[in-house]
Amino acid sequence: MKHLSTDLHRMIEEGYINAVKHPESDLWIYNYTPKTQYEKYWNDLTLACRGRVLDKDLNKIAVPFKKFFNWEEHQIDGMPNIPNEPFEVFEKMDGSLGILYWLHDKPMICTRKSFESPQALLASDWLHTRYKDSIKHLQKGKTYLFEIIYPENKIVVDYGSKTELFLLGIIDNKSEKDLPLENIGFPIVNRFDGIKDIQQLKALNTPNSEGFVLKFQSGFRVKVKFQEYFRLHTLITQFSNVSIWENLKSGKPFDNFLEQVPDEFYNWVKSIKADLEAQYLAIESESKRAFKTFDTRKEAALYFQEQNHPNVLFSMLDNKDYSEQIWKIIRPSFEKPYRDEFAG
């Protein structure tokens, strides 16, 4: 416990795990941060903190699925090998993950980052209204995981008027092992029997569908997403290389920007950010090397006009912030994100 507490505290301090306290109790949600995804800082703790709920003594209250990755990511050096085991194929649903936890002997639902998100509050209300007869089947010591689907929560896939809690998984809190899905009064995520060839799955590209989740015998999970889903996701994504430029220009924390970025596009964002920062540094360094002082402003002006970035040099001469000048110079032409072959 002490070792866990030390490591957890360190990763929170370093910005790799975020902790959110329940407003009315000593329960906490622990979730990996955009920084973790961006730096690919994956270890046992960051993988496990995907909406994990613990009490103040770090006892397990809810144990969701560990972070799992797209099929392509496992082809990268350093990533675990996909096990050579039998697997089940489930629909990859396109809503919000709902995590059932117990509060004062009452079952409630949170999402990965919040006890009070609109999805969490709505799903908790459903538990005690439309699914009230199913509550008697819920057992403490198990974590029930749901996909929260309703029209206002649409991401890409259109589920029409469906308003449901789809049961995705049941985890034993003590062993953290997957348990068989049970018919306990909730609709259950679709399972596809008979398809055992992964390349066949990848090629299906079913319209209005995100893809599949492969659950291996050992509990190892892998996402297989359709290219059409990525195409549509790109079309509706409200960020671009210009919005990355605007964030860097403003000096706002980049983690706040990453909160809005689907993890499939992190490699693209990283590339754009690195390129803009390199351009900025190059112009700044060149201007510092070129900068000189003169007896008169006229002499300085004649010299500055012969250099590549006179406006930057004038700002330096006047002891003004020259960053605005550099950011204007490197403003990119608009480009929407694309998914790298091995994107997160």
Same domain assignment for residues 95 and 178: yes
The count of domains in the chain is: 2
Q: What is the pLDDT of residues 89-103, one digit of tens each?
A: 999 999 999 999 999
Of 193, 211, 231, the one marking the end of a domain is: 231
Report the alpha-carbon distance of residue 102 to residue 99 in Å, rounded. Answer: 10
Q: In the structure, what pLDDT confidence band is assigned to residue 340 with cuts at 50, 70 and 90?
A: very low
Confirm whether 43 is domain-assigned.
no
Mean per-residue pLDDT over the chain, rounded: 91
Give 195 or 134, the one with higher predicted confidence. Answer: 134
> Which domain does 137 fall in, by range?
68-231
Last residue of a domain, one of 231, 255, 273: 231
State percent of the chain over pLDDT 90. 72
209 and 294 in a single domain? The answer is no
Least Cα distance to 98 among 55, 53, 48 occurs for 53
Q: What integer pLDDT is reported at residue 3 of this predicted model? A: 56
CA-CA distance, 225 to 204, in Å (whole number)?
A: 10
- 231, 256, 272 - which closes a domain: 231
pTM over 0.95: no
Task: Report if residue 314 sits inside a domain.
Answer: yes
Residue entry with tokens 């936890």: 101
- List, edge to edge, every strand of the sheet that includes 106-110: 106-110, 96-103, 142-149, 164-172, 178-179
Does position 341 have pLDDT exceeding 60, yes or no? no
Instruction: State residue 282 phi and psi, 5-degree precision.
Output: -65, -45
Residues 226 and 253 in one domain: no
Residue 102: CA atoms inside 13 Å, Cβ hemisphere, count?
13
- Listed in sequence order, the residues at least 6 apart from 204 whose beta carbon sits closer than 8 Å to its beta carbon are 226
Residue 336 pLDDT > 80, yes or no?
Answer: no
Give a yes or no: residue 19 inside a domain.
no
Q: What is the CATH number of the domain that holds 227?
A: 3.30.470.30
Both 97 and 140 in a single domain?
Answer: yes
214 and 246 inside one domain: no
How far does the chain reach from its first CA to its final CA, in angstroms? 31
Mean pLDDT within 66-71: 92
Which helix (H) or strand (E) segment holds residue 314: the answer is: helix 310-317
Q: What is the pLDDT of residues 215-274, one digit of tens each?
A: 999 999 999 988 778 777 776 677 889 999 999 999 998 888 888 777 778 888 999 999
Torsion of CA 232, 237, 243, 244, to 10 degrees: -80
Higher pLDDT, 209 or 165: 165
